[in-house]
Amino acid sequence: MFQPAGNSIIVRSDGSPDGAGMTLQIDTATALLMDTRYVPSPNVDDRPDDEMSLIVIHGISLPPGEFGGHYIEQLFTNRLNPNEHPAFVPIADLRVSAHVLIRRDGELVQFVPFTHRAWHAGESSYQGRPRCNDFSIGIELEGTDEIPYEDNQYQVLATLIACLLRTYSQLSDKHITGHSDIAPGRKTDPGPAFEWDKLSHLLAAGLG
């Protein structure tokens, strides 16, 4: 069984417990973020083992290079209409999801409970271990490989990661990677626009 570090955790935006600032709380009974919009994806199943030891960061925009709207939600809930944009034609029938999406304005949307398997990584391998969906959490950032991500996205991402690390003891800040790293040659996100140093600084400030 999963071994949460506590029943539920409130984490400030700087990663320290409770107090003022942005807070996130995970209900460990449901594995959902509290006070966060939940849009259940049908693209989910049980993990083969009760392991959750990797965090994978993705980037996504629909249509490519455009932000806003509900197209990402429609993709993750199998409701994307291929007639609305030519770019949707090859992806409308895909069955994919992520645990969480962080929009450009910092809004969080959850699609899959953290303890369940989201279909975000596809064919993948981490440190020689295949099928990363089995043991990972997938976090999508609304963005592209080339356009800088927003500062508030980094802040929310760091807060979310800190909350996950404090809630699920199997996770570690040493095992956070990008989609391109677990699927090289097939995927490029979150791309060169993603500032890993900025995320590391925020996590170090909050977890140190």
Residues known to be catalytic:
140
**Of how many residues is the chain composed?**
208
Q: For residue 179, report the phi and psi dihedrals to the nearest 5 degrees.
A: -60, -40
Q: Render 55-117 in DSSP notation, one character per residue.
A: EEEEEE-SSTT---SSHHHHHHTT---GGG-GGGTTTTT-----SEEE-TT--EEE-S-TTSE
Distance CA 107, CA 104 (A): 7
User: Nearest-CA neighbor of 98 among 114, 111, 79?
Assistant: 111
Task: State the residue for tokens 């979310």.
Answer: 160
Within 10 angstroms of residue 81's Cβ, the number of other Cβ atoms is: 10
